[in-house]
Structure 1
């Protein structure tokens, strides 16, 4: 018994050309991915946890004032944006929030640059003078398993549209 398989590429050539054209410029899909990731990060702020679901250590300000950790003025949360191009999307903080975004993401110690101490008003309104302030890491940027699924769905939908074109 002989089994013969014959592939004729002629009828598929149009489909392959449409897929190739879409793959050469993924900007529309990257923009959809960017919007989805920004929404996911903003949801992390609402829920007070990292992308992997780990709750953030509550801030003293949030505990004393009844607010949300990392959401005092809302600048960090609203400062998340994206930039899409033909083959990638970058998502992250921008604008004024860029200055303090890293310390909240990674944690660290803040020390004075040109003085002997830091001076500020605490969440309780009391004046404080300290040599350093330790900020715990509260990761808000990153990707969850759900985010990866969303990316896959967006790409499949975008490339699948070539079959209808």
Structure 2
């Protein structure tokens, strides 16, 4: 060719083609990406527990639930050596009050078992399952009705129940029907969608490295 020209060689295109093919393969095999979504969702669900509902707050605890939590807290502190070794009733009362004040009355984290039970389940090429295997996980998520039921002691001779006037000890108790409000802790937030998009872009780009 006379005059001036530039020469284009295809040697560098092989690398580009290989990278595009690798990115395409990652787009076909999405299972690792789904697993990343699952891990991200567990963190989001833990944030839901910490906020006691997002973006809407969960229904507050009932008065009976609060009394039950306080009763159990007092019973636990009464079993400690510092309580039993206390010299005065005033000191013992102080320990009981500290146990009650330390509860914080956080919703759905009475023992922490439900929150800690959230895990990644089945992971496929186009889906990931996140949930809990605890028997009461479903009713707290969706709400519902439990009871009526008759409760009897398993290892002791009687049952103790907290009331507004003190503790009632009985050999059995008829628990009336009780409604549990829905407190959706398994909930995808708007910020999770944005995170999923970012994770997807990162996953595809990794094929070009």
TM-score normalised by the chain length of structure 2:
0.61
Greater mean deviation of Cα atoms: 22-31 or 154-163: 22-31
Matched length = 147
What are structure 1's unaligned runs of at least 5 residues? 1-9
Matches within 5 A, 1:3-42: 12-42=16-46
Q: Deviation digits for residues 78-99 of structure 1, max 9, x if unmatched?
A: 11011333332111113xx2x1
C-alpha root-mean-square deviation of aligned residues, in Å? Answer: 2.6
1:46 match: secondary structure? helix
Q: Paired residue for 2:130?
A: 91
Q: Paired residue for 1:138?
A: 183
Are residues 36 and 123 of structure 1, via their aligned partners in 2, closer, same or farther at CA, if it must alter by over 3 Å?
farther
Are residues 56 and 78 of structure 1, via their aligned partners in 2, closer, same or farther at CA, if it must alter by over 3 Å?
same
- 2:161 matches 1:157: no
Larger gyration radius, structure 1 or structure 2 = 2
Q: Deviation digits for residues 20-74 of structure 1, max 9, x if unmatched?
A: 2112222222222111100100111111014xx1111122335764331111111
- 2:61 matches 1:56: no
What are structure 2's unaligned runs of at least 5 residues? 1-12, 71-103, 153-159
Equivalent of 2:143 in 107, 116, 122? 107
CA displacement at 1:13 relative to structure 2: 3.1
Q: Deviation digits for residues 107-134 of structure 1, max 9, x if unmatched?
A: 111124xxxx343866766575333111
